[in-house]
Amino acid sequence: MTIAPVQSSPSLGSSGWTDTRLILALEEVVEKELNRHLGVAKEWMPHEFVPWSQGRDFDGVLGGEAWDVEQSKVTPLGRVSLVVNLLTEDNLPSYHHEIATMFGREGAWGTWVHRWTAEEGRHGIAIRDFLLATRAVDPVELERARMNHMSEGFESDNAHSMLHSVAYVAFQELATRISHRNTGKFAGDPLCDQLLAKIANDENLHMVFYRNLLKAALEIAPDQAMRAIADVVTNFRMPGHGIPGFERAAAQIALGGVYNLRIHHDDVLQPVLRHLRVMEFGGLGPEGLVAQNELGVFLDGLDAQARKFEERQAAILARREARRNAG
């Protein structure tokens, strides 16, 4: 059974909320959000967004045609971003292990963990099938990158704390939605855009689930939740940071406008923080107030960094345009 709303008991204090107590206290919220999710999530079929008629044998065992970059209409930026997105999705077994270990496999928590995993698995299946059928990427390099990335496994920066884990995924799911959606817009292929829009819709529903769960956690354990939010925001990394060549790919993705500091600040951090009214949240103790202040200082600094990035981005793109015109 869920613990009664002991959040009103001042004797607990911030140190009284262990991960186990929080997981039990939030069980009813998880059940409510799970039911809401199942009521609004719409079934879709990955195979319907893959142009199978474009597929043909590759070279190798079947003696087909070798891959060539000219065989696909996907843009170079779209190709880089699609590979990063897919390799991130590929590490799903590690992600499942992380959250199943943290949240458990029983009750509403367990049902959510398995449902989330099933929906995320659909994303990797759909993107890989699309990329191979349309010859958008080198299949040999893609498989080698998958093997290298998954062989390293994944260890969350937030595995030490249930609240940190919930805070992280509230932001990360929205970041993933934005990344998929913008990748589709820049991919140069209308069908790819449609596919990634479907995936982005799933990611948005996942974000809403975790965001609402984080809101409930703020009400139950405000100081601990505020500390978790501040830590996650100030040390945020996307789960694909271990992908081989990630830094170079991330730079291309940022410059191209798929995902960068400005997008991260304006379209990921701020919407979640505003919805939760984090910067206006009252009733905090000393620990929570310190975390809230740290968060405000960090956001101001991030906004300044984003402005500097935009200036560099504009200068680089202007130089590229000038070279194209000169040529």
Give residue-wise pLDDT tens across range 160-200: 999 999 999 999 999 999 999 999 999 999 999 999 999 99
Give the type of residue at 162: M
Residue 233 pLDDT exceeds 90: yes
Reported as a single tens digit per residue, the pLDDT across 299-324 is 999 999 999 999 999 999 899 888 88
Q: Which residue in this structure is represented by tokens 């004797």?
A: 11
Summarize the confidence of residues 128-146 as an average pLDDT. Answer: 97
- Give the per-residue pLDDT at 15: 55
Q: Give residue 153's pLDDT band: very low, low, confident or very high (50, 70, 90).
A: confident
End-to-end CA distance of the chain: 71
Residue 166: which of 123, 203, 209, 204 has the closest Cα?
A: 209
For the entire predicted model, the pTM comes to: 0.91
- DSSP assigned state of 260: -
Return phi, psi of residue 65, to 5°: -90, 130
Reported as a single tens digit per residue, the pLDDT across 105-115 is 999 999 999 99
Tell me, rounded to whole angstroms, the distance of Cα 99 from its chain centroid.
Answer: 14
Q: Which residue in this structure is represented by tokens 């991330």?
A: 250
3-state secondary structure (DSSP) of residue 65:
strand
3-state secondary structure (DSSP) of residue 278:
helix
